[in-house]
Structure 1
Amino acid sequence: MKGSVDTAYHTWANATLFAHVQTLPEGIAEKEIEGTFSSILEVVKHMYLMDMTWLKTIDGEEFITVKASVDTEKEALRSVSFQDLVTLYESFLNKSLKKLSLEEKKSIELTHPAYGTKPWPVETILGHVINHGTYHRGNISAMLHQLGYAGVPLDYIYYLYR
């Protein structure tokens, strides 16, 4: 993708983290802990909900309608390995980027329920999606440490050196 947004990093970081979580003893993703989210699985479900909401909004659907229609229970629980989430996200992102060439459509008008309607460059929204993922991958890393397990290096520089 052209520009400063590296969507491949986002999918790599998610896939790397989810693969790491998959290697942990069964039930760790669902184990309840105190914090902003009650479990690693709850963070993943939130990440999935917001990734799909923003990406489908970029694709032309209404924010509120999409957010209400994304089935996090079914999708997140269906694949504890989280591979389905990564595959679905990559597929959707690739389709959307082809459809929304940044040269053809530099910005879209988005309506957010709390913040109103405003035009945003597509690259800005994708940057938000990546930043949001980074934030919540950090939540998961902290939760893993809280549960006595190591995280996995996901800083952007590790992606660049891979």
Structure 2
Amino acid sequence: MLQQSHPLYDYHVWANDRLFAHLEQLPNEAFHAEVTSVFPSVAQTFGHMYKFEQLFMHVLAKIPNEDIFPKLPGWEEEPKGRTVDEMRRLFAGVADQFRDLLRRTPDPDKAMTIEHPQYGRLDTRFSDILRHVVNHGTYHRGHITAILRQQGYAGVPTDYMFFLVERREYE
């Protein structure tokens, strides 16, 4: 699975970067403007994504819940009020940490058990949780596109196929 997990994460980072680059071309108010949607703004959607990027990275690093849960309010607070560029840097920092974790994980298909106080025990694999991280990002990038369209701005294509085509062009 090593050959598949890392390119999927690379896609995830690529898609976020593409979206940040697009947002940098739009008026600043597009990032914080509130609309009626799943999340009230692009900034708040990214804030949610950031919190869960941190959470799942710590889960994959096998950090105990009692060490993770106290950090959740800080991860929720940290992205608030940020500019597009500041948010992009937060995500770049998480991506660096995630890539370090991936380098230190020789077997991405290794079995792992996740204990959640509300949902119970899940016997799974590292690679399954990594796929969840990518899927979670894809889901919320779609919300961001919808929020932008509600404001009258175009989105930017972040489909996996575009990543594959672009990557092929640079090989």
Fold conserved (TM > 0.5)?
Answer: yes
Structure 2 stretches lacking a partner, 5+ long:
167-171
How far apart, CA to CA, are the structure 1 residues paired with 2:16 and 2:133?
Answer: 12
Query: For the residues of structure 2 that align with 1:77 and 1:2, how far apart are their CA atoms?
Result: 37
- Alignment match, 1:119: 123
In 2, Cα distance between equivalents of 1:45 and 1:64 = 22
Other-structure match for 2:114: 110
* TM-score for both structures, normalised by structure 1: 0.90
**Aligned counterpart, 2:153:** 149
| The structure with more helix, counted as a fraction of residues | 2
Change over 3 Å in CA distance of 1:79–1:92 after alignment to 2: farther
Q: 1:59 maps to which residue?
A: 61
State how far apart, in whole Å, the 2-side matches of 1:66 and 1:18 are: 27
Within the candidate set 115, 132, 136, 2:136 is matched to 132
**Number of aligned residues:** 161
Aligned twin of 1:93: 98
Taking the aligned partners of 1:155 and 1:64, their CA distance within structure 2 comes to 36
| 8 A contact 1:106–1:122 mirrored in 2 | yes
**Contact (CA 8 Å) 2:50, 2:91: kept in 1 or not?**
no
Q: Report the TM-score when normalising by structure 2.
A: 0.85
Q: CA deviation at 1:100?
A: 1.9
Between the aligned partners of 2:79 and 2:49, the Cα distance in structure 1 is 12
Q: Which amino acid in structure 2 is aligned with residue 149 of structure 1?
A: Y
Question: Can you list the C-alpha shifts for 1:124-159, whole angstroms capped at 9, x where unaligned?
Answer: 000000000000000000111111000001000100
